[in-house]
Amino acid sequence: MSSVPQPPRTYNQNHAPRKYTPGKRRVSIYWTWSYPWETNRSTTELDNRFSTMTEVRRVAWPAYEGTEWDEMHFLQGIAGTLELFHRSTLAFQKVVGEVTGHSVAIFQRIDQAGYKLPIDERILADTDTLMVFGLDHLLSEQEAASEEIEAVREWLKREGTCLLLGPHHDVGFTEDRKQRQLEYTHHGDGLVPRQQRFGQYTRSMMKALGVQVMNQFGLRPAIVKGTSQIAPLTISKDLDKLGLLNGVTTFNFHPHLPHYALTTDDTKSIHVLTRQPIDLDRPHPFTQAGNTEFNSFIWMPPNAQRAGNILLADSTIFTTLFGGVESLETFWKNLATMPLASGMQATKTQAIA
């Protein structure tokens, strides 16, 4: 734990709307899970659940053996692991807060106290970039309601908006147990079961919004030979019209990242901006089919129906659970400083009373 005094923390309070500031983006994170459903999962279930904090401590030993992680100070069940996800975005929140002058708002679909919060005007009114982190297990049956889809569609008509969708991995989707084992040995993470399928909420939103992408597999990135550093991205700089990848060479390492497979041949409406080299020393059905990289960052520019941008990137790119690099912080800053609408139109459409 840091010895530097931290600001006091608040909990279980209503969100205080952020007033529009010219040129300053307001960023919000929306965790798609039902916190109670995820934390109430039986630990006797082998698949499709998060690990408990006790399991994390065992696998990551001795990383969490300080007194700040013991049963007196930290939740030891599945809830503890979910809280690690919350903690892991603190660095991102700090960087974005310093760049924009606005705090990052954090929302959950169903929170610890049991309050359900669909995406509606209460979230969207003071948000310019909405990051939808799809870590809901498919079994929890989280779906975007028609009212939520309509609210997001209307919000995306506002100039300067950006919707970032982050459906997580889909490990072990097959009934073939040999393939499940092959996928497991490929990513090598003892905390991920043979089947762990995420992202029903984001999938439902993607389908409704015409985002022709499917999150597939959980692939282990290659590392630079002789080091523990993730291999550089393959970047389509000619397609990066927003400059989101200026100064960026890598994201952070995560052992099981989704491949964002395009389900369309329309290369004008959707652009793959980065591809991540895969660890080819660990067999996987995806690489056995001849693939050496997976799609890791996608951009859908505005069109006739939508003034805002749509991005796809995995939620772990915005966390520090698996380390962080200077290049990653540059990426965060680029996202936070995407141009907003200016002048009278911005004041008219974005001002918060």
pLDDT digits (tens, 9 = 90+) for 208-226: 999 999 999 999 999 999 9
**Residue 322 confidence (pLDDT):** 59
- Per the rule left: phi > 0, alpha: psi between -120 and 50, beta: everything else, 23 is left
**Residue 344 confidence (pLDDT):** 35
**Residue 346 confidence (pLDDT):** 39
**Residue 320 confidence (pLDDT):** 79
**Residue 259 confidence (pLDDT):** 98
**Residue 60 confidence (pLDDT):** 95
Which stretches of the chain score pLDDT less than 50? 1, 342-353
Nearest to 149 by CA among 210, 205, 212, 110: 205
Q: Which two tokens stand for residue 217?
A: 């597999």
**Residue 323 confidence (pLDDT):** 60
Task: State how far the Cα of 219 lies from the Cα of 260, in Å rounded to an integer.
Answer: 11
Is residue 323 within 8 Å of 222, Cβ to Cβ? Answer: no
**Residue 183 confidence (pLDDT):** 98
**Residue 324 confidence (pLDDT):** 62
Nearest to 123 by CA among 93, 170, 155: 155
- Helix%, strand%, coil% for the chain, nearest 5: 30, 20, 50
Return the SS3 of 278. Answer: strand
Angle 218-221-225 (CA atoms, 0-180°, nearest 5)?
A: 155
